[in-house]
Chains A and B, each alone.
Chain A
């Protein structure tokens, strides 16, 4: 089983739509979670961290369900500029240090 699993999509939605992405992770000891955004042929950039209490940043809401080992990202009122790949990321920490474990990414295409 992969450490981080996501539905690759693509999700094709019209402007203004609400879209939700889901992600599951396999290591129940994981503590830190993130959503990264990656535009075509560009590097990943941090979109938002995911906290147990859930967190919101404008049109974006991230939620974590530790019992189900499940992370979600909700985008409201989609914009054309939201078109990108959204990467679910889990931070692995061990004695040696840290590394980000990425899912395959979910592709979103917002059309007018």
Chain B
């Protein structure tokens, strides 16, 4: 399967614990995005990487959230001291785009569903 993959698919944790999610984008894609989706809402942008550089972070991404893409391939999203309001589907997407800008189709992974008890 050459699509975007995410692990784990489901995560249940207790409030206050730290969690980390992984995203493996399509191999030739240089851009990687994280979104969050809650029930009845569309996905909301969290952050964006071009290669290993994190170029943009949404105001939704509080200090408890951190994302990395150390080698410009896979990415991790960590949430520290989880809160019940963090319960959501965390979606990763990837695309290929030129450094100068422009945009191509974003392909989404299946998501990681987080439940904070």
Listed in ascending order, the chain A residues whose CB lies under 8 Å from chain B are 4, 8, 32, 42-46, 87, 89, 91-94, 96-105
Contacts and interface: CB of A to CB of B under 8 A. Distances in A.
B56 A96 contact: yes
Nearest to A92: B45
A46 B105 contact: yes
Contacts of A92: 45
Interface of B: 31, 33, 35, 40-45, 48, 50, 55-56, 58, 91, 93, 97, 101, 103, 105-106, 108-111
Task: Please classify the interface of chain A as helix (H, G, I), strand (E, B), loop, or mixed, using the class held by over half of its residues.
Answer: strand
A97 B57 CA distance: 11
B41 A104 contact: yes
Nearest to B40: A104
A97 to B, nearest CB: 5
B101 A105 contact: no
A96 B48 contact: yes
B45 A42 contact: no
Contacts of A97: 31, 48, 50, 55-56, 101
Given A96-B56, A97-B101, A104-B40, 15 more contacts: A4-B42, A44-B91, A91-B103, A93-B101, A96-B55, A97-B48, A98-B97, A100-B33, A100-B35, A100-B43, A100-B45, A102-B35, A102-B42, A103-B42, A105-B42
A104 B42 CA distance: 4
A100 B50 CA distance: 15
B109 A101 contact: no
